[in-house]
Amino acid sequence: MIDKGSEDIKPTEGKSLNFLETIIEEDIRKGKNDGRVHTRFPPEPNGYLHIGHAKSICLNFGLADKYNGKCNLRFDDTNPTKEEQEYVNSIMEDVRWLGFDWEDRLFYASDYFDQLYEWAIKLIKDGKAYVDDQPADLISEQRGVPTRPGIESPFRKRSIEENLELFERMKKGEFPDASKVLRAKIDMASPNMHMRDPVLYRILHSNHHRTGDKWCVYPMYDFAHGQSDYLEGITHSICTLEFEIHRPLYDWFLDNLIESEYRPRQHEFARLNLSYTVMSKRKLLELVKDKYVTGWDDPRMPTISGLRRRGYTPESIRNFADRVGVAKRENVIDVGLLEFSIREHLNLISPRIFAVLDPLKVIITNYPEGKTEELNLENNPEDPNGGNRIVPFSREVYIERDDFMEDPPNKFFRLGPGREVRLKGAYVIKCEDVKKDENGNIIELHCTYDPTTKSGSGDQRKVKGTLHWVSVNHAVDAEVRLYDRLFSKEFPDELENENDDFKNNLNPDSLQVITGKIEPSVKNAKHPDHFQFQRLGYFCVDPDSIPDKLVFNRTVSLKDTWAKMNK
Ligand code: ATP
Ligand code: MG
């Protein structure tokens, strides 16, 4: 079952608020920050965004929207070794596609490098920061463990003058990478490890995607984030739970650097975890780099670009984010909820069409040769403006191979020798003969049709089964990519032993490529058109599709009785 884990608070005006809304409404009521609500979405451009980020985007932009506030897009680009313009571009595309607008509020942490540098100098001058010459592993060792005080660095007592001079020379590029760091002087005995003289600046002779070679010292995330929030006038800085323990440091920097009364305030919520999914950017990058998938936008990836290509709509993702709610405790959401959300939306918007994915030819022996009837069928019973389409019917049609059984059990309401079914929107046919090749494989069925049973003609004849079909001479061949979950294990990050790897949990059958026979109305379909292949699932046109070689992706299967019966 789905553990929402969300902690909804008492209803006001009939609708219950999540805990962040409760905090915001309380802040507004008290007139904090003059009642302003200003949030931000702060991705690091070191990979493509995933569905977890989508949750954060919907939350930050959604709260701003709800409370007449603003939401910034800020690139947290403090680590030049991992960040690229390609990622910046993809992130902007994804946020826009989800339906959100940062208007003129696009920012980069790197815009603040000068100011952050000035603030570092201020800390040094105030005796609250020092240059440490020790290597990283020694610094980390001296930090110790939370239950015992750490060891103070021998460089902790350096004079302000010496620190100023050394930091200046670090900035000028006089020292090699990792040979020195600037640390805050806080408390090596603090039970919070983040307060044990955290590193503020490190030396990195690395080209930055925006500032080029201007800098060879770069601020750490913690030294950049809260101050960036402050500079942008953020009121509610919403992040995931793992940053809760960083909050005292977030506040320490602001308290020691800023005079004004206004402060951004950090609030934490539980990150989105999904079953059958890995969500770490590092792991997703590994899948891309080592070619386990075709790219960041592989339709099996949990990235926003992958979901888009798979056929997910922005509405379905926003609805999903809404349903998940906001939790204060770690939890795992059933990926079935995401699939439910897309099914629900596609049901409303997708035209229904006939596609046969595993064709078996049916010859209707008493139907005139060369005759074609143009049947007028409804596109979408869920959409009053869905319109109609023409589907040609003729003497030879394809049906699904598993809609026929030579020796069917009683409850099989499809075709069998001597049995009748309705071809949807057309006629009732009866199976008279089964043709096989020399190996005994069924190659075609010979059937007869009853001309008095034309759909819509008022014929009341009851048959138990209705099959979809495609006229052989009119069928369009298309490549159909049948996607399934990328991982076959419910919690793919959980490893069995030291030598196990999350990639061992990849589903070997996550993609099957077949050629399908599709009704001709799809001839001019283009990405990202959506269809329901009747009785089979929801499909969309892939960007690889060209007019003479259509390519469809299965977005999600139908949850119908037919699927259940097949089990
Ligand atoms: P990863 O751990 O996958 O590398 P990250 O958190 O380091 O992701 P960022 O680019 O820093 O990636 O994330 C941008 C914002 O998105 C942050 O505010 C972060 O808290 C939020 N975020 C990231 N992953 C999730 C998630 N699974 N659920 C909700 N919010 C998330
Ligand atoms: Mg991060």
Same domain, 78 and 184: yes
Same domain, 37 and 175: yes
Residue 518 in contact with ligand 1 by CB distance below 6 A: no
If one residue of 87, 240, 268, 274 were mutated to test the ligand 1 pocket, choosing by the most ligand atoms within 8 A of its CB, it would be 240
pLDDT at 14: 56
Residue 271 in contact with ligand 1 by CB distance below 6 A: yes
Same domain, 253 and 219: yes
Same domain, 133 and 180: yes
Quote the CA–CA distance of 368 and 375 in Å, as a whole number: 16
Q: Which atom of ligand 1 is nearest to the CA of 284?
A: 3
Quote the CA–CA distance of 65 and 363 in Å, as a whole number: 59
Same domain, 161 and 263: yes
Same domain, 343 and 359: no
Q: Which helix (H) or strand (E) holds 310?
A: helix 304-310
Same domain, 347 and 361: no
Does a structural domain hold residue 276?
no
pTM of the predicted structure, to 2 decimals? 0.93
Catalytic residue among 202, 265, 281, 389: 281
Q: Collapsing DSSP states into helix, strand and coil, what is residue 238?
A: strand
Residue 44 in contact with ligand 1 by CB distance below 6 A: yes
pLDDT at 132: 98
Q: Report yes or no: 358 and 539 within 8 Å, Cβ to Cβ.
A: no
Predicted confidence (pLDDT) per residue in 269-280, tens digit: 999 999 999 999
Asked if the bond preceding 409 is cis, omega within 30° of 0, the reply is no
If one residue of 271, 284, 307 were mutated to test the ligand 1 pocket, choosing by the most ligand atoms within 8 A of its CB, it would be 271
Residue at which a domain ends, from 223, 248, 269: 269
Residue at which a domain ends, from 269, 295, 321: 269
Same domain, 19 and 145: yes
Same domain, 298 and 432: no
422: containing domain: 355-468
Does a structural domain hold residue 274?
no
For every residue of 363-409, DSSP letters joined together read EETTSPTT--EEEEEES-TT-TT--EEEEEE-SEEEEEGGGB-SS--
Same domain, 51 and 156: yes
Does a structural domain hold residue 12?
yes
Residue 52 in contact with ligand 1 by CB distance below 6 A: yes
Catalytic residue among 210, 271, 283, 454: 271
pLDDT at 4: 41
How many domains does the chain divide into?
3
Q: What are the φ and ψ backbone dihedral angles of 337, each rounded to 5 degrees?
A: -70, -35
Does a structural domain hold residue 473?
no
Q: Collapsing DSSP states into helix, strand and coil, what is residue 361?
A: strand
Residue 280 in contact with ligand 1 by CB distance below 6 A: yes
Q: How far is the CA of 45 from the centre of ligand 1 (A)?
A: 11
Residue at which a domain ends, from 414, 445, 468: 468
pLDDT at 13: 56
Q: How far is the CA of 44 from the centre of ligand 1 (A)?
A: 8
Does a structural domain hold residue 545?
yes
Catalytic residue among 4, 7, 25, 44: 44
Q: Collapsing DSSP states into helix, strand and coil, what is residue 442?
A: strand
Ligand 1: residue whose CA is nearest its atom 16:
53
Does a structural domain hold residue 1?
no
Q: Is 271 among the catalytic positions?
A: yes
Does a structural domain hold residue 111?
yes
Q: Report yes or no: 217 and 203 within 8 Å, Cβ to Cβ.
A: yes
- For residue 386, give the CATH number of its domain: 2.40.240.10
Quote the CA–CA distance of 56 and 326 in Å, as a whole number: 10
Q: Is 44 among the catalytic positions?
A: yes
Q: Residue 193 burial by CB count (10 A; 0-12/13-18/19+): exposed, middle or buried?
A: middle
Residue with tokens 């962040």: 20
pLDDT at 8: 45
Same domain, 550 and 531: yes
Q: What are the φ and ψ backbone dihedral angles of 114, each rounded to 5 degrees?
A: -65, -45
Q: Which residues of the chain have pLDDT under 70?
A: 1-15, 459-460, 560-567
Same domain, 381 and 316: no
- Nearest in space to 555 (alpha carbons), one of 534, 535, 530: 530
Residue 283 in contact with ligand 1 by CB distance below 6 A: no
Does a structural domain hold residue 191?
yes
